[in-house]
Amino acid sequence: MCAGELRSGPSIPPCQGDVMAKVTKLHVNGTTYSIDADPQTSLLFVLRDQLDLTGSKYGCGEGQCGACTVLIDGNPRRSCITPVGAAATRQITTIEGLETNGRLHPLQAAFLTEGAMQCAYCTSGMIMTAVALLKANPHPNAEQVSQYMEGNICRCGTQPRIVAAVLRASREAAR
């Protein structure tokens, strides 16, 4: 693939001839990192393997489970199917970028309080999606949370606690 629409991310710039320039910089969690990646490389692999940001998980690798969700310019995206070349000029936020000055993000704290994980493999993707939800709709009801999060899969069956955690974070943000 050289150029094209992505279901979950911005389109990658077209190739120039047969030569594609390497991606050498990536803006993640407020820091500009030097990287060395083919533009078609999965953003998830660059985050995990080059930047050691391993909070984003590889689940299905096909954009179907949500374990790899990050924010790109504030929008939840599946990093497993996003070529790094499509994200090179964007602001990327991963789970590691949510805490500030050693304090957990309210959603991280709410997930802990509600025990909204079992194996926790899906947790970072869940939280990143929930960050986008509460930004778009700060006071969702339970049905709206379920609908927004339905693309994020939890195989342990903790969805009720995940919904409770998102609602808790919403309530606490309103205080």
**H helices present in the chain, as ranges:** 43-45, 84-87, 106-114, 123-136, 142-149, 159-174
107 contacts 130 by C-beta, under 8 angstroms: yes
Of the pair 37, 43, the CB lying nearest ligand FES is at 43
Q: Could you say whether residue 64 binds ligand FES (CB under 6 A)?
A: yes
Q: Minimum CB separation from ligand FES for residue 60, in Å?
A: 4
Member of 60, 109, 120, 132 binding ligand FES (CB under 6 A):
60
Q: Could you say whether residue 58 binds ligand FES (CB under 6 A)?
A: yes
Amino acid (one-letter) located at 139:
H
In angstroms, the CA 132 to CA 77 distance is 10
Return the SS3 of 85: helix
Task: Name the nearest CA neighbour of 28 among 73, 67, 63.
Answer: 73
Q: Minimum CB separation from ligand FES for residue 50, in Å?
A: 18
How many residues of this chain bind ligand FES (CB under 6 A)?
A: 12
- Site residues for ligand FES, window 65-84 (CB under 6 A)? 65-68, 78, 80
Q: Could you say whether residue 33 binds ligand FES (CB under 6 A)?
A: no
Return the SS3 of 27: strand
Return the SS3 of 19: strand
Q: Which stretch binds ligand FES (CB under 6 A): 27-35, 56-64, 133-141, 159-167?
A: 56-64
Of the pair 68, 165, the CB lying nearest ligand FES is at 68
92 contacts 72 by C-beta, under 8 angstroms: yes
Q: Minimum CB separation from ligand FES for residue 64, in Å?
A: 5
Q: Minimum CB separation from ligand FES for residue 77, in Å?
A: 10
Residues that bind ligand FES (CB under 6 A): 58-61, 63-68, 78, 80
